[in-house]
Chain A
């Protein structure tokens, strides 16, 4: 049973466009929400993370929006570039321990 639901499964965006990936969770004890980027044949790399005490966090072209009441959080990739083509996973953990991963979203950026 997946504790974190992620959508869409895949998306295609034009270069310069915005990619938006959404995640929802049920466990209100989750207190850490990271996003990972994974290229084929490689391990995931931490992209950005947020805690429930803030509603938004921005790092470069990547922004997390967090809605505690709705138990949802999303990743926005601004000015998408071909190098951003990868699979993105949202995750959540309780007391910074085991991560529960979403199913993943494959992003394709067309030049």
Chain B
């Protein structure tokens, strides 16, 4: 149980285009989803927290207009990187938790974004 999927697993795009990454909780309802980015050989950096049906809360220094997060249902959250640039190239990872069942965060497999 507690499986989280991400799609796509990797994406390459041209500078200036937008990319959407999906995060799904497959066998539980995620009241809260988190989005992280991770640079090579570094730790996970929290970008934003989203609760189903409400606006995401962004961490300090994260541009909300560049990283659009939508948590429209209890099983799906999306991260859209708008007008992507090479410096946005990173490993993006989502996690999901069900606050009614103990709050453990279950992580997705990650999405490797490369912006050319």
The chain A residues found within 8 Å of chain B, CB to CB, are: 2, 32, 34, 36, 41-46, 49, 89, 96-99, 101-104, 106
Closest-by-CB residue of B relative to A103 is: B43
Query: Are A46 and B104 in contact, with the CB atoms below 8 A?
Result: yes
Give per-residue flags for B31-74: 1 if the beta carbon is below 8 A from chain A beta carbons, else 0: 00010000001111010010000000000000000000000000
Q: Which residues of B contact A43 (CB under 8 A)?
A: 4, 6, 93, 95, 107-110
What size tier do the contact residues of chain B reach? Answer: 20 to 34
**B85-116 interface bits toward A, Cβ cutoff 8 Å, 1 = contact, 0 = none:** 00000010101010100111111111010000
Q: Are A89 and B43 in contact (CB under 8 A)?
A: yes
Kindly state the separation between the CA atoms of A89 and B46 in the bound complex, as whole angstroms: 14
B107-A44 in contact (CB<8A): yes
B110 shortest CB reach to chain A, Å: 5
Q: Using Cβ atoms and an 8 Å threshold, which residues of chain A touch B44?
A: 44, 89, 101
Tell me whether B46 and A99 are in contact (CB under 8 A).
yes
Secondary structure of the B contact surface, majority rule:
strand
Q: Which residues of A have CB within 8 Å of B41?
A: 104, 106
User: What residues of chain B have their CB less than 8 Å away from a CB belonging to chain A?
Assistant: 4, 6, 34, 41-44, 46, 49, 91, 93, 95, 97, 99, 102-110, 112
Q: Is the CB of A45 within 8 A of B112?
A: no
Residues of B within 8 A of A41 (CB): 91, 110, 112
Q: Determine the chain A residues whose CB is within 8 A of the CB of B46 once the complex forms.
A: 98-99
Q: Which residues of B contact A49 (CB under 8 A)?
A: 104
Q: Is the CB of A97 within 8 A of B107?
A: no
Name the residue of chain A whose CB is nearest to the CB of B107.
A43
Q: B32 CB to closest chain A CB, in angstroms?
A: 8
Chain A residue at smallest Cβ distance from B32:
A97
29 contacts between A and B (CB under 8 A): A2-B43, A32-B103, A34-B104, A34-B105, A36-B107, A41-B91, A41-B110, A42-B110, A43-B4, A43-B6, A43-B110, A44-B44, A44-B93, A46-B105, A46-B106, A49-B104, A89-B43, A96-B97, A96-B99, A96-B102, A96-B103, A99-B34, A99-B46, A101-B43, A102-B43, A103-B43, A104-B41, A104-B42, A106-B41
